[in-house]
Amino acid sequence: MNADNDELVHQLLHIAQQQIGIVYSAVFGHIVDYFPDTHTVTVLLVGFANESGFCPVTGQIPLGTPWSGNGWGMQVAPQGGATQLQPSLGEPCVVLVLDRESFQTAVGAMLFGGFGRTPDPALQNGEMIMKHSQGSLLKFHNSGELEVTLSAPQAPLNISVNGDASIAASGKINLGSPGGALQALLNATAATLFNGHTHTTPNGTSSPPLQQMGSSEETQVVLAE
């Protein structure tokens, strides 16, 4: 948004404050656009619609995050999409007025209320969930379980490790991949070893077993203990 629009928003808020005698510390709005390089948004301020129903739109203002650093932290990208005719297409949010003189603002939080439902309506106290609009999720349960779900068909899970990778479990580790490369590799290796193996006998080396491993004997689930 340009400087003229920023000034328009500032003037509207200033006039409203003078007329009704209220000094705002926060205003409600819906997100229009998101800019990932600066983690900023533009916001449609629905609380300041004029007689014609027109709502002012802010310039790019910072979007809050619970974790930030220089090139690292948590970055959640809103979908945005609020319009004059349909403000609720963009995420509802709270715009904080940090400095009333210069009207320095930032989006302190996004809200779920405008969309009717949360990612997990049955989420228990103390639990946390991060869920994508396509359904993939990361959920921390009170039981200590960490749930990772990839919802899209054929969605890959990419994990990059520069050093060693270790998985330690006190119970079983189940790797289910019917028809996948890991399962095919293990089945092929097992069949090769079994079908060609021999034994040392008093009369020399035995022949490979007459009973050969085929597809009916191969595993459908990879299980490691």
DSSP string, 125-160: TT-EEEE-TTS-EEEE-TTS-EEEE--STT------
Q: Which tokens sit at 49?
A: 């619609």
Q: How many CB atoms lie within 10 A of CB 59?
A: 19
Q: How far is CA 74 from CA 68, 70, 150, 159, in A?
A: 6, 11, 20, 18
Domain ranges of the chain: 3-115, 119-151, 168-196+211-225
pLDDT grade for 25, boundaries at 50, 70 and 90: confident
> Per residue in 98-146, pLDDT tens?
776 666 788 888 887 655 578 888 888 888 898 888 888 899 998 999 9
Instruction: Please identify, in words, the CATH class of the domain defined by 3-115.
Output: mainly beta
Give the helix/strand (H/E) hosting 224: strand 222-224
Alpha carbon 179 to chain centroid, angstroms:
28
State if pTM tops 0.85: no
